[in-house]
């Protein structure tokens, strides 16, 4: 492991806005579960979650624009999290935190109805059939998210993959869930280009735009997914 990575890992341990449970702790149940606003942020504000946050570009910008909400970025890569945590510390952003853990353990880290909104930005589409269960919008993951979201809470998927966009939209429609917005190319379909969808251009988004790829966006709700999945499975 390189010296720079080791330095970042050490700094992560020293920053108050980075939470790094062991695998055992994440499986057992994080001590902050049900108490993030109270114990981590020391306020009563709602929480917005970014899954697979990378360097935390969206987490940071949403925190800057929405100081009355708490924002948490989740990723397993400590060296990536370091960038967002360092920036938040230097800017004095008190409504930002980063959680280093696998998204598989997400329901062990947050309590029922503890989250107002979820963002998933440029995840690996896991196109191969045998990787389907690893897609962050696979029904098994969506069910996990539904247990964290407040009633009426939304999930936002922004990515460069038409495949993942179509797959996710198909799942939502199949289960009879509510789609609030669906765009195959936000830069061509949304005018004027304003708001958080355009205020942040992530590292990967810049790469895809240079390659001429369309950026897709889907916003949906998960209310009723548990019963919908039971009904769908019973038909199979």
Catalytic positions, written as ranges: 124
Question: ω into residue 106 within 30 of 0, thus cis?
Answer: no
Alpha-carbon distance of 119 to 121, in angstroms, equals 6
Alpha-carbon distance of 107 to 93, in angstroms, equals 26
End-to-end CA distance of the chain: 48
- Residues with Cβ within 8 Å of 39's Cβ and at least 6 positions away in sequence, in order, are 31, 32
Alpha-carbon distance of 75 to 20, in angstroms, equals 10
Contact 100, 12 (CB under 8 A): yes
Full DSSP string of 217-230: EEEEE-TTHHHHHH
Q: How far is CA 106 from CA 56, 93, 149, in A?
A: 17, 24, 12
């Amino acid at each position: 492991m390189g010296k720079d990575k080791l330095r970042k890992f050490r700094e992560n341990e020293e920053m108050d806005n980075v939470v790094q449970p062991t695998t055992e702790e994440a499986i057992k149940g994080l001590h902050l579960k049900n108490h993030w606003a109270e114990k981590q942020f020391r306020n009563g504000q709602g929480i917005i979650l970014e899954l697979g946050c990378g360097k935390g570009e969206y987490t940071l910008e949403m925190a800057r624009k929405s100081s009355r909400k708490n924002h948490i970025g989740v990723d397993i890569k400590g060296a990536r999290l370091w960038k967002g945590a360092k920036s938040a510390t230097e800017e004095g952003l008190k409504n930002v935190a980063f959680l280093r853990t696998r998204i598989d353990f997400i329901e062990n880290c947050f309590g029922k109805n503890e989250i107002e909104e979820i963002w998933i930005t440029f995840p690996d589409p896991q196109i191969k059939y045998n990787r389907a269960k690893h897609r962050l919008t696979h029904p098994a993951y969506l069910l996990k998210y539904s247990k964290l979201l407040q009633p009426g809470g939304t999930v936002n998927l922004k990515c460069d993959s038409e495949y993942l966009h179509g797959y996710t939209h198909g799942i939502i429609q199949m289960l009879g869930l509510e789609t609030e917005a669906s765009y195959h190319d936000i830069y061509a379909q949304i005018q004027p280009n304003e708001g958080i969808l355009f205020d942040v251009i992530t590292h990967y988004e810049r790469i895809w735009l240079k390659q001429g790829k369309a950026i897709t966006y889907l916003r949906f709700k998960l209310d009723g997914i548990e019963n919908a999945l039971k009904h769908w499975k019973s038909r199979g």
